[in-house]
Amino acid sequence: MMNVPAHIVRANGTAVSMLMEGREDESVKLLHKTLSELRELVFSMEEDNDDDEVLLPPPSVVLQSIKIPFDSSPSLNVGAFSFFNRAIVMPATSDVTMDQFKLGAILLYNAGFCCHLKLMQTGLSRDLTRALGFYRHAFQLLTDTDAILGISDDDALLVLSLANNMGHLHSSLFDRTASRTCWDMMQNLFPASAEETILDDDDALFFYLATFLVPFDHLSASPAA
């Protein structure tokens, strides 16, 4: 758990602003640079920490989504999952405290989202590979957090966003097993999130439609030979 430096919150916000201006490549570079700075900061903290320190659950931090407009390539409009075209921002306050795994996962999600957004417009396989790589790394960080501190209700937006967009990519690749894993994760997480009103109305409606109105049988099947 760490006090989030203001420059990391600002950098994430600047990267999202770049996305809104259609500057995906610049946004990815800034997020990659910010991740490197975060990694160095965490390493320096670990050297100073006592090995016997008791880890406590981090305080509540409400994340927000920012909708990013885009023009989609028709070739990516396949499968049961819809693209969740929203980046994630943190509250712009001076006293944000957050687990470093979750902070890294937010930056990685947004980096993956940059590549995913570019993929939706160009259809290039290179962008698909990069998007999945960032998303998987973000999910792994959250899995590490779950093993140590437990994923809180406030992580719902981040986890649902990751599961949906990974599912969208896997579905476009006709990978039914990976798509099903993402869909199951959303089914398990969404009801509690909606009940606690953790998500705003637009996000809640998106995930409700994505989770309950598309039967798994409608997920992409392998293309005919």
Long-range interactions of 119-126: CB distance < 8 A, separation 24+:
119/73, 119/76, 120/70, 120/72, 120/73, 120/76, 120/83, 120/85, 121/70, 121/71, 121/72, 121/73, 122/73, 123/73, 123/75, 123/76
Q: What span, in angstroms and rounded, lies between the C-alpha atoms of 173 and 170?
A: 5
To 10 degrees, what angle do helices 24-48 and 6-20 make? 160
- Dump pLDDT digits (tens) for 52-105: 444 444 445 568 888 888 776 655 655 678 899 999 998 766 556 677 788 899
What integer pLDDT is reported at residue 132 of this predicted model?
96
- Dump pLDDT digits (tens) for 80-93: 788 999 999 987 66
Reading the chain (225 residues) residue by residue, the pLDDT tens digits are 556 778 888 899 999 999 999 899 999 999 999 999 888 887 676 555 555 444 444 445 568 888 888 776 655 655 678 899 999 998 766 556 677 788 899 999 999 999 999 998 888 889 999 999 999 999 988 876 554 444 555 678 899 999 999 999 998 888 889 988 998 888 888 766 555 557 888 888 898 888 877 655 555 444 443
The amino acid sitting at 167 is G
What count of Cα atoms within 13 Å lies in the side-chain half-sphere of residue 176? 9
Q: How does strand 2-3 pair with strand 86-89? A: unpaired
Residue 68 token pair: 């990013």
Show the domains of the chain with their CATH numbers: 2-48+58-218 (1.10.3450)
Q: What span, in angstroms and rounded, lies between the C-alpha atoms of 35 and 40?
A: 9
- The pTM for the full model equals 0.83
H helices within 76-155, ranges in order?
100-122, 125-148
